[in-house]
Structure 1
Amino acid sequence: MKTINKIFTLSLIAALGFLQSCNKFLDVNPDMRTELNSVEKVAELLATAYPQASYITFTEAMTDNAGDKGAGTVEIINSAPYRFEDVEDINRDSPTNYWNAAYAAIAAANHALEAIEKAGDDPAYRPYRGEALVARAYAHFMLVNFFAQPYDAATAATNPGVPYVTEVGKVVIGKYERSTVAETYNKIEKDLLEGLPLLDNAAYKKAPKYHFTVSAAHAFATRFYLFKKEYEKTIEHADQVFVGGDIASNLRAINSEAYRSLQYYELQAQYTRAENPANLLLAEAPSVWGRNYAFYRYSLTNDILNELFTTSNVTDGSWAYNIYGRETTLNIPKFREHFVRQTLNAETGIPYNMVPLFTAEEVLFNRAEAYAELSRFDNAIKDLNDFASKRIIYSFSIPIYVPELHSITDRKLLAFYKTADLKRATIQCVLDFKRVDFIFEGQRWFDIIRHKLPVTHKTSDNETLVLGVNDPMRVFQIPQEAQSSGIELNPR
């Protein structure tokens, strides 16, 4: 694993900043940095142009994937989101930490772009300019979807977005405006479309899965356009992720004999391996999620397990996922922790997780939903069947997928979801499959905000907590420290 002991860091009141473990926004002069005077140095800098922080802890706890076990590890980064409260913690796995890390990534991208501009028309920089633009777009996209209202064409021009930073900071404290969600999205799209044609996979021979390759950038585009409800573009980009538009053969074969034969720690390692074709973009993030998610009090409960995994689904088959643990430790192994010691013989260090930012599964789901929205139901159902063929078995005693029994049809969808609306049933099936497949990955939150789904949480002392579709707590609070840069906080 590539280890980065020092990273470029930016909040909105600092340009370049501090060591990773520091909580201040500025510890060193922003101009105290390595001179970027070669292609190699720019390429190395761009390794830090991806948010080196995990959003999973605070998003997963906000979703309907989490319940109250009544016992377990209690940390504010898990408990506050479950209770739909602001997370006061500013350290790793918190919204504030993600905000800082995302703007750190943006700072790195901006420094790279500045250096590339100074280099003139040297074609050797072309793919790195593309990577910097797409990475900058991605970091802003994540920020606007956590810290602003989700995109809605009717309100995007008036809802506050997030500051879109395109220049290298030259002062310790600068003033920034949030602009609007529409303006933020326009700038994201501009960077994405300008950067994508410049990408060249040959630039990333050593560690391609940690960079925006062509495939990863198209995968990002499918998510972006799905949020914008531009479904033809979602499909167009999905078809370009893999050669010939073949997503199915790159999905994780969870129901295969080979996969089912893996032991717990082998499964942990396999899920986020760069060699796994399903993983399109990975990022290393300092995080304790991998060691704690099975033990957090607010996580997968028996009731949610039954709802998602053991009750019937539209295929009439069984999910092939192996679920481990007891009542208070239920989990699916997905994250193997990498612990980096501060020195060779040190007892202290930094825990890292490899986080899948984009996967073949998401691309397939995004395309299937887009097909359904366009009433191209045969295509949507084919994608759903391709997914089911990698996840469904007859039973654990007969662990095989039987197309004649398990194939999804329009009749099955209408009957299972008890509706005469095939579009509604197909989209609901996509969302249900995603909820199951991405459990413990925080992805469910994106569907909750996109589709304006309410969330109800119950506590072990019979308290009912409801996150309504217009609840201001659906938007994470901008860090208090950003106020000194003139950033307005979100309403509470």
Structure 2
Amino acid sequence: MKKNIKNIKIAFASLLILSISSCDEFLSEVPDNRTQIDTPEKISELLVNAYPQASYMDFAETMSDNVGDGELGSVSVKNRQSYNWEMHDETNVDSEANYWDGCYRAIAHANQALKSIEQLGNPANLNPQKGEALLARAYAHFMLVTFWSNRYNPATAETDLGVPYVTEPETQLLKNYKRNSVKEVFDFIQKDLEEGLPYVTNNYKEPKFHFNKDAAKAFASRFYLVKGDWDKVLEVSEGLGSKPVGKLKDYLTLSSLAPDIQFIEYAKSSYAANLLVASPNTLIGRSASGSNFYLSDEKQTEIFRVQTNPFNKTWLFDFYSYNSSRTLFTPKFEEYFKYTNLTANIGIPYAGVVLLSNDEFYLNRIEALVMKGRITEANTELEYFLGTRTTNYNATTDKLTEARITTLYPVIANEFTPYYTMTPLQTSYVKAIAEARRRDFVHEGLRWLDVKRFNIVVDHATFGLPTNTLVKDDKRRALQVPLSASNYGIEKNPR
């Protein structure tokens, strides 16, 4: 459903884009006068910063096939560059370089925590902190290799350029880093993941802001899905059970709320569906009103039209526009503004975002069921999932069938081309799951992960210009290494 907003008051404070120190500066500074991290409490405090304080969502979403030309008349440089798969000139908030830097800062905090735990003799009472640090380090490196490397393919992973996998705190000025291969990075991630999983706990004052048990398993399912290890995906997701009532996002309730309330509700840590939430420095909440290349009216129709619903009913997703703009949004990001100077009315914007959820976790499980040939089970679970997103869904009469899936999602030659083979029936179901993921996580950047994983061709049309196409195996699918890193010796991606 599309709705026009003319009178909803969303106050946007003025923003001074603060310069962010580049990754090379951060990795090259000797940490003089550093506080000694020598107690469990200090290690726990350190781990609060072991999650990226930057966001990938804006640039990842803009690179995907979820966006089009809104013809607004003005375009930000970053928005245009992401839409055309060009390297960002800027290094400020929501830029590629800013996220690179944020990930390595998070990794540095995780590494210091692990080093401090080691220096304290690896006592058992610090296992929860150790588990969190290992998961946080694995997550940040996974996101880095996802954006700055070729997609995972075991046939080429040994020679594909990965990212530097950093496992030690910084003690050396101007240290040179070399890129590990994609295989090495994935091996390191798996090692950290599998070592950390048994240690992870739910014993936090605010467990949704940490790698709690379910969040860790959800991340593991994302990792193993990319690797094609279906058995591992099913193993870590077993606790979800069949038709996980109460564990998925309640769109029936969300869609009944006013949009200004939906902004707040979507990323609440109190919701069972949200497993890991964060509040990075980001302007993602303003993208609908300030980005020309965003969810255009045509794209919204393509993704959410009634014809894409297997029960021939309306989806339970609401969309809005500002003053009849041709770019649309669904309320997901509540902005919080921290003033650094009240007199000058300047400060830093943050937004609540969901990094991992049961919704993605469940779809990962369904995809693994399909790839294991357990189509009947997958059909049952997918029917339940889609029903929770459908207006007036009736479990008795609204049924999903193989015939319906193959009709809605026919096999098209050379469309979905993962590194592994799929039967025609598996292809149709995987396409259906990918589209479900696409709808659920619109604006959140996850579609880009599927664009890379399945090597999907993307066409970006700009009014008055030739269509720009991201072909299969296009080198632009791997972001170019930021200048702040390449200037200090980190090898660039080929172009």
Q: Name whichever of 313-322 and 126-135 sits farther off.
A: 313-322
Correspondence for 2:389: 391
Q: 1:285 to 1:121 in 2, by over 3 A?
A: closer
1:411 aligns with 2:416: no
Matches within 5 A, 1:228-267: 228-240=227-239, 242=240, 244=241, 247-254=244-251, 256=252, 258-267=253-262
Counterpart-to-counterpart distance in 1, 2:73 and 2:376: 45
1:447 aligns with 2:443: no
Matches within 5 A, 1:423-462: 423-462=426-465
Q: 1:225 to 1:402 in 2, by over 3 A?
A: same
Correspondence for 1:293: 288
Q: 1:24 to 1:115 in 2, by over 3 A?
A: closer
Q: 1:446 to 1:131 in 2, by over 3 A?
A: same
Counterpart-to-counterpart distance in 2, 1:418 and 1:175: 49
Tell whether the 8 Å contact from 2:306 to 2:313 is kept in structure 1 after alignment: no
1:139 aligns with 2:153: no
Match of 1:318 among 304, 314, 317: 314
Corresponding letter in the other structure for 2:404: K
Corresponding letter in the other structure for 1:184: V
Q: Name whichever of 98-107 and 373-382 sits farther off.
A: 373-382
| Structure 1: stretches of 5+ with no match in the other structure | 1-18, 394-399
Counterpart-to-counterpart distance in 2, 1:435 and 1:443: 7
Counterpart-to-counterpart distance in 2, 1:110 and 1:415: 50
- Root-mean-square deviation (Å): 1.8
Corresponding letter in the other structure for 1:227: V
1:308 aligns with 2:303: yes
Tell whether the 8 Å contact from 1:159 to 1:181 is kept in structure 2 after alignment: yes
Deviation at 1:249, TM superposition (A): 2.4
Matches within 5 A, 1:180-195: 180-195=181-196
Matches within 5 A, 1:63-462: 63-71=64-72, 74-202=75-203, 204=204, 206-240=205-239, 242=240, 244=241, 247-254=244-251, 256=252, 258-313=253-308, 314-325=310-321, 326-342=324-340, 347-393=345-391, 400-418=392-410, 421-462=424-465
Q: Name whichever of 127-136 and 306-315 sits farther off.
A: 306-315
Deviation at 1:343, TM superposition (A): 5.1
Q: TM-score, normalization: structure 1?
A: 0.90
Counterpart-to-counterpart distance in 1, 2:275 and 2:44: 19
Deviation at 1:141, TM superposition (A): 0.5
Counterpart-to-counterpart distance in 2, 1:98 and 1:483: 15
Deviation at 1:171, TM superposition (A): 1.3
Correspondence for 1:15: none
Deviation at 1:24, TM superposition (A): 7.5
Correspondence for 2:477: 474
Q: 1:72 to 1:239 in 2, by over 3 A?
A: farther
Q: Name whichever of 31-40 and 350-359 sits farther off.
A: 31-40
1:442-480 residue CA offsets vs partner (Å, 9 max, x unmatched) = 010000000010100100114210001121111111111
Counterpart-to-counterpart distance in 2, 1:224 and 1:248: 25
Tell whether the 8 Å contact from 2:58 to 2:287 is kept in structure 1 after alignment: no
Deviation at 1:73, TM superposition (A): 5.0
Corresponding letter in the other structure for 1:475: A
Deviation at 1:404, TM superposition (A): 4.0
Tell whether the 8 Å contact from 1:67 to 1:299 is kept in structure 2 after alignment: yes
Flag as ranges the 4+ runs of structure 1 deviating above 4 A: 343-346
Counterpart-to-counterpart distance in 2, 1:401 and 1:372: 24
State the number of aligned residues. Answer: 462
Counterpart-to-counterpart distance in 1, 2:243 and 2:202: 19
Deviation at 1:346, TM superposition (A): 5.8
Tell whether the 8 Å contact from 1:295 to 1:329 is kept in structure 2 after alignment: no
SS of corresponding position for 1:319 = coil
1:13-32 residue CA offsets vs partner (Å, 9 max, x unmatched) = xxxxxx98445843764233
Q: TM-score, normalization: structure 2?
A: 0.90
Deviation at 1:417, TM superposition (A): 2.6
Counterpart-to-counterpart distance in 2, 1:157 and 1:405: 50
Deviation at 1:483, TM superposition (A): 2.7
Deviation at 1:156, TM superposition (A): 0.5
Correspondence for 2:416: none
SS of corresponding position for 2:350 = strand
Counterpart-to-counterpart distance in 1, 2:23 and 2:405: 53
| Structure 2: stretches of 5+ with no match in the other structure | 1-17, 412-422
Counterpart-to-counterpart distance in 2, 1:138 and 1:418: 34
Counterpart-to-counterpart distance in 2, 1:112 and 1:453: 39
Corresponding letter in the other structure for 2:284: W
Deviation at 1:250, TM superposition (A): 0.8
Tell whether the 8 Å contact from 1:30 to 1:172 is kept in structure 2 after alignment: no
Counterpart-to-counterpart distance in 1, 2:471 and 2:155: 19
Counterpart-to-counterpart distance in 1, 2:38 and 2:260: 43
Tell whether the 8 Å contact from 1:238 to 1:245 is kept in structure 2 after alignment: no
Q: Sequence identity of aligned pairs in percent?
A: 38
